[in-house]
Structure 1
Amino acid sequence: MRVNVQDVMTREPITVPTTMPFKQVASTLADNKISAVPVLDAAGDVAGVISEADLLRKEEFRELYYRECYESPSRIRNDRAPGFDARRKAQALTAADLMTSPAVTIRPDTSVVRAVRVMDEQRVKRLLVVDDEGRLAGVISRSDLLRLFVRDDRDLAGEILEEVLKPAKWITTDALTVAAEEGVVTLAGHTPTRSEAELAVRMTQRVNGVVAVVDRLGWEDDDLSPRRTR
């Protein structure tokens, strides 16, 4: 069963306007115990995103400038020299100065598998979810994706049997049982053919929330054997 971004994203996320002062942005993150916040412009469109790292730029460069006052310039390593974007954020007064723009976005109907790939490719911990008109629909973070692996075992086993295996007309489930413990799914029983048993395992492995599959299936006819007489 495919799970899309809209199935696990945080809806109606907290946002800040581009004009919000630095201190209020910091308070918004701290008071709501969140690590990032979307920034909206005057029209309500996504302008960017601010993370804790963006806010901490100011403290990072406060320390750097302090060292520059007391150390010889020759002792300041080149790799500590701030870039333009980092300096801008360090001197930020409002959300517009702080934010990273454009923000990395994704559509609600995108699969969570694709969302994980985008996060990895873009090296971000969260994605802003936008609708067809480009309006903010939600936010999906790594913690949201982790929810897929903390599903109730009984619900997981029931979904696999009732919504994945039984609807598949090419798999006979009359003598097949599904059990789950800590996300590890055990398929047991018999199927008429070996191909059905192997297909059942592959389909189960694709279900979100499955940690591993234990194959205890038997079959009556080894229809995959090259020695089978046809």
Structure 2
Amino acid sequence: MLNYKSIDIFTNEEARYQSQPVSDAVIEFVQNLKIAARCHVTKGTDGCYENGEVVTRRLEILSFNMPVRIYIILPEAEVERVLPTITEMITDGIVAIHDLKVVSHRARNSFFPRQVRVRDAMTRDPKSVSSASFLDEAAQLLLSSIFTGLPVVDESAKPIGMITQGDLIKRGGMPIRLGFLAESDPKEQDSILTALGRKQAADVMTRPVITIEEDCRLIEAVDLMLKKGTKRLPVVDKAGRLTGILSRLDVFKTVMKEAPDWNTFRAQQVRVENLRYVKDVLRRDLQTVSPETAVWEVIRTIDSNDIQRVAVIDDKKKLLGIISDWDLLRFFKRDQNGVWGLIKKSFFFIHTNTCDDELRECLSGITAATAMNTDLVTVREDALLEEAIGIMTEKALKRLPVVDEQGRFAGMISRDSLLRTGFAGEA
């Protein structure tokens, strides 16, 4: 048997707390606590009050200010977090508390609460360009944005296309990714932007554009993102005008805002169904290197790896560091300008699968141990998916290394895999 309490509130339709109907305010308060509590509200059909007032639906003139009952059931350990505030909120009514012996408490994990709409999660007032805008303007806007995609709108602010980092590279001729462009020296950056300025947005944008209305449910937007394979969706109002952008990061932020602490629930003997773990989304087919691996071999490995990361492990498979193309860029830019130029030519510029003799000679003697990033953020494979999402959201990470309980490298998870697994339980 589980020790629970019930809080029973008897009030009426006209009761208010901070200008809200008191029942709405109580529900919002309990929901925001993210505790193992349920709250039910029922409205009476007849009743009377201490002041002599009688209400009944049988007579139209008296069918106002109907009685309202708010019933909260929660673990005994949570009462002190709830009762003082509830007592303060009820300025017209009665608050009672009862002991309950609960046989079982079961709940179901839900990634995307049904009440959440796209407008609740989206980033509002996004930057945009017109079809006549030149690509240097688009690139500069993306350089100052957290997104790697930019809506193209017509004169009525209706989206007609999207310009992504991939569009700038494949059709615009941008030679390096935006992150690398931001790190380039000013002369080189100006040269690349000048070259981009010869083309307009209409020349490279992806069309037709896939949009979502702001009043749609968030789960519908996630379904659309997964079906169309897009990382972001322009959000429009009922007239089709751009009002926001919904990215995977926006979705994850909303998941974390709505999700309770399931570990606390389980500690209180609440049986939670549909929990998912990092091991359920873990990608294990990733290549690894030893600390002694020559860095030119690391470059070749990363270039052939769609996840663009390589784990550095010791002979016991313990994770020592991670190397990405970004780590290589920062390492060589800082220490060797000559090598920096070669790196850009043979690796960071689009798709090369070989390491030429000039580059190999310059990199001679440099190993993975020298280039790897040891300031690691990891997650355990037995952690809940929500924990991984919390880490990736807080750190704005696109990928997260996973280790077992001994610290051995187990694989990596991505935003896409997290979104797909979370959605699978909702479909």
Letter in 1 for 2:206: T
Residue 59 (structure 1) shift: 7.0
Q: What do you get for the CA RMSD once the two structures are aligned? A: 3.4
User: Which residue matches 2:249?
Assistant: 143
Distance 1:59 1:19, change over 3 A: closer
In the other structure, the counterpart of 2:235 is 129
Please say if residues 163 and 201 of structure 2, whose CA atoms lie closer than 8 Å, have aligned partners that are also in contact. yes
Runs of at least 4 residues off by over 6 Å: 59-62
Work out the CA distance in 2 between the residues paired with 1:5 and 1:33: 19
Tell me if structure 1 keeps the 8 A contact 2:171–2:204: no
Q: Does 1 or 2 have the higher relative contact order (CA < 8 Å, sep 6+)?
A: 1
Task: Describe the superposition over 1:108-167 as per-residue Cα deviations: whole angstroms up to 9, x where unpaired.
Answer: 12222221111111111111111111111211011111113433xxx855xxxxxxxxxx
Judged with a 3 Å threshold, the aligned counterparts in structure 2 of structure 1 residues 19 and 117 are, in CA distance, closer, same or farther, namely same
Within 5 Å, give how 1:188-207 maps onto structure 2.
188=268
SS of corresponding position for 1:137: strand
Which residue of the other structure, out of 156, 165, 168, is the alignment partner of 1:55? 168
Instruction: Pick the aligned partner of 1:116 from 222, 225, 235.
Output: 222
1:186 corresponds, among 258, 262, 266, to 266
Check 1:144–1:181 CA distance in 2 against 1; reply closer, same or farther (3 A cut): same
Post-superposition offset of 1:34: 2.6
SS at match of 2:266: strand
Count of matched residue pairs: 147
Report SS of the residue matched to 1:150: helix
Code of the residue aligned with 1:112 in structure 2: it is L
Taking the TM superposition and a 5 Å limit, the aligned residue runs for 1:1-230 are 1-2=113-114, 3-58=116-171, 93-151=199-257, 156-157=259-260, 180=261, 185-186=265-266, 188=268, 211=386
Does the CA contact (< 8 Å) of 1:149 and 1:210 recur in 2? no
Query: What residue is the counterpart of 1:87 in the other structure?
Result: none
1:35·1:52 contact (CA, 8 Å) conserved in 2? yes
Q: Distance in 1 between matches of 2:160 and 2:266?
A: 47
The question of whether the paired residues in 1 share the 8 Å contact of 2:213 and 2:237 is answered with: yes
Q: Rg: which structure is higher? A: 2
Task: Compute the TM-score of the two structures, normalised by the length of structure 1.
Answer: 0.54
Tell me the distance in 2 between the aligned counterparts of 1:156 and 1:59.
41
8 Å contact kept, 1:185–1:210? no
| In 2, Cα distance between equivalents of 1:105 and 1:59 | 23
Q: TM-score, normalised by structure 2?
A: 0.30
Any gaps of 5 or more consecutive residues in structure 1? 63-89, 158-179, 190-196, 213-230
CA distance in 1, matches of 2:143, 2:205: 17
- Report % sequence identity: 30
Is the CA contact (8 Å cut-off) linking 2:172 and 2:204 kept in structure 1? no
Q: Which secondary structure state, in structure 2, belongs to the residue aligned with residue 186 of structure 1?
A: helix
Unmatched runs of 5 consecutive residues or more in structure 2: 1-112, 176-195, 276-383, 388-427
